[in-house]
């Protein structure tokens, strides 16, 4: 992404943030570099200074940039490595492994949030959330069962989407203007119950990984709380770790 699209459902400041993140990811902007001013960014991308300011302020708040009084805004030295931990959806993960992702919708419905779910999604108990349960496959081989529970105003429109053919994350980003930008995730080892085992075509009691994820859109707003069961022997989680400071 290197241009700002006027017709995109994504707000312009968000598009600019993504462009700047990309500059850091690719190494074009290095830690300590001075980034262009609001005015320069405005001219480069044909947007207002206000929009450029909003994008910069967000990245300052996220720790990717820091400001120096009278000097300008610079790329931070720490935190940048954290960008190596990318937030991806199932479709992207499987494609990255060179396989073909697919999905079978087991159920899709609106349901009243209980207290726990309401707390995760920061909504009131009883509010209606969209619940989607899918069996996820890689090259037709069952890999995971995912229960995605989403809330945003108008989330019931998701009932009309084809979530066997489309990636949920992609839809949220391109059609609803709600890009998933951050997530908290927990992994826990466990054993497959009878029902999960049948769907995943493994024996009851085989090792599985339980994954719980809260996904946030920009502005720190949770949109999804997902619970998944992955076949333990078919999935590897990769994390790139980097020591921030060497001990003396």
Q: Which listed residue (90, 130, 151, 152) binds ligand GLP by CB under 6 A?
A: 90
* Interface with ligand GLP, residue 89, by CB under 6 A: yes
CA dist 144 to 51, 65, 101, 230, Å? 40, 37, 11, 4
Please state at what angle helix 12-25 crosses helix 38-45, rounded to 10 degrees. Answer: 100
The residue to which tokens 């992994």 are assigned: 187
Q: Is 151 in the site for ligand GLP (CB under 6 A)?
A: no
Here the tokens at position 86 are 């990318």
Q: What is the CA radius of gyration of the chain?
A: 20
Q: Binder to ligand GLP among 4, 181, 226, 231 (CB under 6 A)?
A: 226
217 binds ligand GLP (CB under 6 A): no
Give the residue with the Cβ less far from ligand GLP, 168 or 200.
Answer: 168
Q: How many residues bind ligand GLP (CB under 6 A)?
A: 15
Q: Give 247's contacts (C-beta < 8 A, 6+ positions apart).
A: none
Taking CB under 6 A as the binding criterion, the range among 28-36, 68-76, 117-125, 161-169 that sits at the site for ligand GLP is: 161-169
Q: Which of 14, 29, 56, 146 contacts ligand GLP by CB under 6 A?
A: 146
| Cα separation, 238 vs 7, whole angstroms | 36
Q: List all residues 6 or more positions away from 223 whose beta carbon is below 8 Å from its beta carbon.
A: 121, 150, 151, 152, 172, 178, 180, 215, 216, 217
Q: Vertex 85, ends 88 and 94: CA angle to 5°? A: 35
Which residue number, 146 or 218, has a Cβ lying nearer to ligand GLP? Answer: 146
Report strand pairing: 128-138 vs 141-150.
antiparallel
Q: Give the distance, in angstroms, between the CA of residue 79 and the centroid of all CA atoms in the same chain.
A: 18
Contact status: 229 vs ligand GLP (CB under 6 A): no
- Of the candidates 8, 167, 174, 206, which one interacts with ligand GLP according to CB under 6 A? 167
Task: Specify the stretch interacting with ligand GLP by CB under 6 A; choose among 18-26, 110-118, 199-207, 224-232.
Answer: 224-232
Q: Which is nearer to ligand GLP, 38 or 218 (CB)?
A: 218
If binding is defined by CB under 6 A, does position 228 make contact with ligand GLP? yes
Q: Judged by CB under 6 A, which stretch of 59-67, 118-126, 162-170, 231-239 contacts ligand GLP?
A: 162-170
- Applying CB under 6 A, which residues contact ligand GLP? 89-91, 146, 148, 167-170, 211, 213, 215, 224, 226, 228
């Amino acid at each position: 992404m290197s241009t700002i699209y006027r017709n995109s459902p994504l707000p312009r400041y968000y598009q600019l943030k993504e462009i700047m993140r990309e500059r850091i990811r690719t190494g074009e902007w290095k830690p300590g570099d001075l980034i262009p001013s609001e005015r320069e960014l405005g001219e480069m991308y044909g947007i207002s200074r206000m929009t450029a300011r909003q994008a910069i302020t967000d990245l300052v708040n996220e720790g990717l940039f820091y400001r120096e009084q009278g000097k300008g805004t610079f790329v931070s030295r720490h935190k940048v490595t954290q960008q190596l931990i990318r937030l991806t959806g199932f479709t992207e993960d499987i494609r990255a492994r060179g396989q073909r992702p697919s999905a079978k919708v087991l159920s899709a419905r609106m349901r009243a949030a209980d207290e726990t779910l309401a707390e995760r999604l920061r909504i009131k108990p009883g509010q209606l959330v969209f619940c989607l349960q899918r069996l996820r496959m890689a090259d037709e081989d069952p890999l995971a069962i995912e229960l995605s529970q989403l809330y945003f105003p108008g989330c019931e429109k998701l009932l009309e989407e084809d979530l066997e053919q489309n990636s949920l994350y992609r839809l949220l980003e391109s059609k609803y203007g709600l890009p998933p930008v951050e997530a908290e995730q927990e992994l826990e080892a466990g054993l497959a119950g009878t029902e999960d085992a049948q769907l995943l075509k493994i024996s009851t009691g085989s090792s599985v990984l339980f994954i719980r994820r809260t996904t946030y859109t920009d502005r720190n707003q949770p949109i999804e709380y997902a619970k998944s069961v992955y076949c333990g022997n078919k999935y590897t989680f990769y994390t790139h770790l980097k020591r921030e400071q060497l001990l003396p």
